[in-house]
Amino acid sequence: MKFFELFYKYILGVVGIVFISCIPAFFTDGFQLNVNLYFQNVWGVIQSIFTPSDWYFHQFVGYELLEKPLFSYVLDNYLYSMTILFAALVIAIVFGMVFALSTFGLPHKMKRAIHTMLNGLEALPDILFIFILQMVVVWFFKTYDILLFEFAYIGERIYLSPILSLCILPTVLFYRSFLLLLEEEWKEDYVQLVRSKGFSKMHVLIWHCLRNNKISLVIQSRPIVWVTLSSLLVIEYLHNFYGIVRLLFFDSRPFVIAMALILIFTPFYIIYSVLEWSFKVKQTEEFSDSRVSMRGMKLISMESMRLANPGMHFFSAIKKMSRFFVSLCKKPTFVMALIYLLGLTILSFMYSYIAEVPVNTIKIFQGEQGTYHAPPHPPGDGGLLLGSDTHGHPILSMLIVGAKYTILLTGLIAFLRILIGYVLSIPYLFWLGNRSKRMITNIADGMQFLPLSLIAYILLVNVLIFNEGQRIVAESLRTSNIILEISILILFAIPVVLNTIGREADEILRKDFAQAVILLGGSKSRLFFRHITVHLFPKLVHLFGQQMIQALQVLMHLGVFGILLGGGLRSAGAASQSLTYEWTGMFQALRMGIMTERYWLIVPVLFLYVLLIFSIQAVVKSIISIQQQKIGIYSDKEDTKIVDNEDGRSSTRMRELNKKSFVFIERSF
């Protein structure tokens, strides 16, 4: 029975992939909502899957378009890609666990420094790790005449460089996950019992804490795998080898897209199904029907949604928000982050409004000594404070103009993802049964095994790239292209966000205080908005930060391929020209900046980008800490802490007891 259930879920995932692979039919010759053409493509893909004679792909050899057997490519290059991917994931898991176990016993200040360092590494773009690794190899070869390893495919396959490049970011993420889970598990009561029996700290960590966290590790590994899959697209491109992802560069027909996505989806579905079965993670246990405990509750209605005194509630909400903001302003990190975010956004709008031409183009100019200078111009040359890019656009002007697009649009993407997921969690929590919730989970699990960067590339590659002579057309379509790209990045993340928020809300609903509200006859609207939302809010804020950073990463991956926010102009032999000058699009000059030692092309935007990530993390952390104080969750260095609850009362919470909490008295008999 279990096998048929897993097979049924797999078929649903494959069907979903077929529907996704045919979406580019809407983007042929511009955006046209031709439903008939879409379903014709769906039916054509289904027929091709069951027709082995259609299993081929197109590839240009010289100027001739040839048909080649699909599985001759798959059996060779697919195994190559999966070897690199799984090797990177295994290295990340092993080293993440070893680092977490070896640093767990460090003093509190050192662990805080480690968390700060991990935040910094997480803020760096993954493509930067690739180029740094390559440049280290080049420097070592130039200095010692020893080539550590090949880092570009030139006829012979390379493994070490792409594996090392791909494993750096997931190692940081796994290290952080292991460390946080161990710290949380160490506070459980059974740990003190096991330690009192004389077992060492390492024994307790390995044989108890890790084993008890195995289910949480499986759940938390999903987004890390998603990040690694998204990076695989960039790894294959920058290392110049042909894997399963770059198959779509040759042939972007819906059938080839579907086969590539199915091949990526299948191994991860099998692995996670085996892990869930071996750990006995049953969906029926995860989704206990919460409606059983709410039989006595009246159904939600328009009357129950109305408040007794809307005006009083409105002013009360404004007062609470004001006090909340005042509490946040007492945190220096929040104030500094807010000044950075708002300051850059306001400056960007003011500069774009005041300047007649926000970004001038400075091509060739004559210097003081009569010499002619061509772009890219170095800092200080021609009065350019930060220099110019390869097209002669001043770096400083580009950063100021693009700040509003980078900050506001990525924030909008994250906010709408959370808002839609939060609104949809209401019917998810109160009206859907176990079967419907399992279906949403299956869809979300399938989406997490499909890299969003790859899906966005497939949908936008023929929409957002224009030739240099199409500037007028591209600028006229800039707003519609921004809306289109934002919509794609939002819609394909909704199932994952809804699944995350819904399961968190379902878990809160099982708490004693929520059941008490139900028994006292509280309405569903009051239960959700007055109780569940308060405890869900810190998780929503944390999820908002994750989604904003994720959106930045996807935009950066797309920028490497010249797919820029709002559209870009393709230039022969140079980076694409952005129409919005959004920051992530400037990272396509990363390779040129590092290889030619023109660091002004990348250092300014990298510096502002890292500060942006730090600001997002600081705002999220400040909001979560204030909200946790309000609901009575607090942890500090002191043994006791007085916490002001939402009703104005104070409660004392004790921190974990340790040896220093007691005074030992020696007694002589």
The pLDDT tens digits for 92-142 are: 999 988 888 888 878 878 878 887 788 777 777 777 777 778 778 878 887
**What pLDDT is stored for residue 283 in this prediction?**
41
Whole-number Cα distances in Å, 265 to 11, 17, 24, 110, 488: 11, 9, 19, 40, 20
Q: Which of 30-34, 604-608, 621-625 has the highest mean pLDDT?
A: 604-608
628 in Cβ contact with 641 (< 8 Å): no
Convert the pLDDT of each residue in 349-385 to its tens digit: 999 888 888 888 887 776 666 677 777 888 887 778 8
Check if the beta carbon of residue 564 is closer than 8 Å to that of residue 582. yes
Helix (H) or strand (E) holding 61: strand 56-61
Q: What is the mean pLDDT of the chain?
A: 77
Instruction: Read off the pLDDT of each residue in 643-651 and give the average, rounded to a whole number.
Output: 41
Residue 69: is its pLDDT beyond 70? yes
pLDDT band at 400 (very low <50, low <70, confident <90, very high): very high
Instruction: Tell me the mean pLDDT in the region 13-25.
Output: 82
Give the per-residue pLDDT at 633: 52
User: What integer is the mean pLDDT of 528-536?
Assistant: 79
Tell me the C-alpha distance between 298 and 289, whole Å: 17
Q: How far apart are CA 248 and CA 244, in angstroms?
A: 8
Distance CA 578, CA 398 (A): 10
Rounded-to-integer distance, Cα 586 and Cα 564, Å = 9
pLDDT for 293 equals 43
Write b or e for each residue in 84-122: b if 16 or more Cβ atoms lie within 10 A of its Cβ, otherwise e.
bbebbbebbbebbbebbbeebeeeeeeeeebeeebbebb
φ, ψ of residue 376 in degrees (nearest 5): -80, 135
In eight-state DSSP terms, residue 52 is G
Q: Above 50 in pLDDT, residue 591?
A: yes
What's the pLDDT score for residue 639? 38
CB 258 within 8 A of CB 482: no
The Cβ of residue 126 has, within 10 Å, a number of other Cβ atoms equal to: 21
pLDDT at residue 643, rounded to an integer: 40
Question: Do residues 448 and 226 touch, judged by C-beta distance below 8 A?
Answer: yes
**Confidence label for 498 from pLDDT (cuts 50, 70 and 90):** confident
Can you give the pLDDT at residue 419? 92
Q: Is the pLDDT of residue 289 over 60?
A: no
Mean per-residue pLDDT for 176-197? 80
Q: Which of 442, 396, 407 is nearest to 615 (CA)?
A: 407
